[in-house]
Amino acid sequence: MTENTPSVLLTGGAGYIGSHTFVALAEAGYQPVILDDFSNSHPAVLERLAQLTGRRVPCEKGNVLDTAFVAEVLQRHRCVAAVHFAGVKAVGESVQQPLMYYRNNVSGLLSLLEAMAGTTACRSVVFSSSATVYGNPASVPIDEGFPCAPESPYAQSKLMCENILASLRASDPSWRTGVLRYFNPVGAHPTGLIGEDPSGIPNNLMPFVTQVAVGKRARLQVFGSDYPTPDGTGVRDYLHVSDLADGHVAAVQALLAKGESFTVNLGTGQGTSVLGVVRAFERASGRPIPFEFAPRRAGDVAQYFADVSLARGVLGWRATRGIEEMCRDSWHWQQRNPDGYRTQTSDTAMHMPAPVRNSPNGPMRPVVSA
């Protein structure tokens, strides 16, 4: 780390995907800078990131909707790129509270872009989009040329953001935008130090399964057993969060090196059914996962997986971790942190890399600026 190490702003960087991307960017030679209001993340993640990376964790506490604050942070850290994770992400909740979704997701991106445009020369932005923009696809695998047909306010908000980025590129070609359409991120860092920490009852399959395994919930409800899939349950493209984090590094590198904008799927290209996940998790954990079949969940599609060839061509990236590794690392995280980041971790020191001392850049501890 030198003062010439390029800084990259991570809005929402304390969250699930943001924290894993922090680690991957640090390993790739960048200085990630977190901007987060901790509305859906826990400050304890900062200490874990310091332990994992052996370096300071710059964190600016605040909301991305505060454009002046974002501009000041971008300038002070001399950021060369921004990765925009901050936003809200529950499909069902977005149907109940559409205005909150549009305000946070659309206005949040506008605020970041205005901060960049108004005050810095930084014109490279990676945007956290979602495969949900495709809606109910006519076939699988899904490639980036498929029509977008969002079916929820959440999905609409992601597509609106993609369109805002396209308008900006058209208005000024110096903007470089990388749109990443995630499939289903799961798993955790292999150390078990950082992972997904949903509040309340998990909406998503993997956190629910891990909570059943650890005894927090009695059984999984498998939504739908009569889909036109090999075992009748829904098929998704699960992607290890560490692979996803590496995809963000590749995206930042591509924008800064080549300067060409892109929109790519990030997935494995492999579909796994709900029962396939249950069986893989049972193997990884050695625990039974009791389940019962329940009616289909409103809005779910039968199967969904990515054509990943464009990401390979444009970014030179592909996922390398399979479903067994995703389940193993989810289980490791859950076991070590039964209450997520609220868990007291007297044992975590045993699993740390040795602390780095005598750094020319000062003490290795989280730096949190309010």
**Selected catalytic residue, list 16, 134, 154, 182:** 154
Report the residue from 63, 107, 119, 221 that binds ligand UFG according to the rule CB under 6 A: 221
Report the residue from 46, 250, 274, 326 that binds ligand UFG according to the rule CB under 6 A: 274
Cβ 358 to ligand UFG, closest distance in Å? 44
Report the residue from 12, 13, 153, 234 that binds ligand UFG according to the rule CB under 6 A: 234
By residue count, the chain amounts to: 370
Residue 267 identity:
G
User: Scanning residues 86 to 105, which ones bind ligand UFG (CB under 6 A)?
Assistant: 89, 91
Under the criterion CB under 6 A, does residue 208 sit at the interface with ligand UFG?
yes
> Distance between CA 76 and CA 196 in Å, rounded?
30
Residue nearest ligand UFG, Cβ-based: 234
Report the residue from 102, 146, 183, 305 that binds ligand UFG according to the rule CB under 6 A: 183
Four-point Cα dihedral 211, 212, 218, 219, nearest 10:
130
Under the criterion CB under 6 A, does residue 211 sit at the interface with ligand UFG?
no
Q: Are 219 and 292 in contact (CB under 8 A)?
A: yes
Under the criterion CB under 6 A, does residue 187 sit at the interface with ligand UFG?
no
Residue 43 vs 198, nearer CB to ligand UFG: 198
Residue 67 vs 303, nearer CB to ligand UFG: 303
Under the criterion CB under 6 A, does residue 279 sit at the interface with ligand UFG?
no
Residue 73 vs 278, nearer CB to ligand UFG: 278
Under the criterion CB under 6 A, does residue 205 sit at the interface with ligand UFG?
yes
Under the criterion CB under 6 A, does residue 53 sit at the interface with ligand UFG?
no
Cβ 356 to ligand UFG, closest distance in Å? 36
Q: Three-class SS string for the chain?
A: CCCCCCEEEEECCCCHHHHHHHHHHHHCCCEEEEEECCCCCCCHHHHHHHHHHCCCEEEEECCCCCHHHHHHHHHHCCEEEEEECCCCCCHHHHHHCHHHHHHHHHHHHHHHHHHHHHHCCCCEEEEEEEHHHHCCCCCCCECCCCCCCCCCHHHHHHHHHHHHHHHHHHHCCCCEEEEEEECEEECCCCCCCCCCCCCCCCCCHHHHHHHHHCCCCCCEEEECCCCCCCCCCCEECEEEHHHHHHHHHHHHHHHHHHCCCEEEEECCCCCEEHHHHHHHHHHHHCCCCCEEEECCCCCCCCECCECCHHHHHHHCCCCCCCHHHHHHHHHHHHHHCCCHHHCCCCCHHHHCCCCCCCCCCCCCCEEEEC
Under the criterion CB under 6 A, does residue 63 sit at the interface with ligand UFG?
no
Under the criterion CB under 6 A, does residue 280 sit at the interface with ligand UFG?
no
Under the criterion CB under 6 A, does residue 300 sit at the interface with ligand UFG?
yes
Residue 13 vs 234, nearer CB to ligand UFG: 234
Under the criterion CB under 6 A, does residue 85 sit at the interface with ligand UFG?
no
What is the widest separation between alpha-carbon atoms in the chain? Answer: 61
Nearest 5 degrees, angle CA 13-CA 368-CA 351? Answer: 70
Under the criterion CB under 6 A, does residue 319 sit at the interface with ligand UFG?
no
Cβ 355 to ligand UFG, closest distance in Å? 36
Find the part of the chain contacting ligand UFG (CB under 6 A) among 127-135, 160-168, 341-349, 359-367: 127-135
227 annotated active-site: no
Report the residue from 203, 225, 309, 343 that binds ligand UFG according to the rule CB under 6 A: 203
Residue 184 vs 253, nearer CB to ligand UFG: 184
Catalytically active residues are 154
In the complex, the residues that contact ligand UFG under the rule CB under 6 A are 89, 91, 130-132, 183-184, 203-205, 208, 220-223, 234, 236, 274, 297, 300, 304
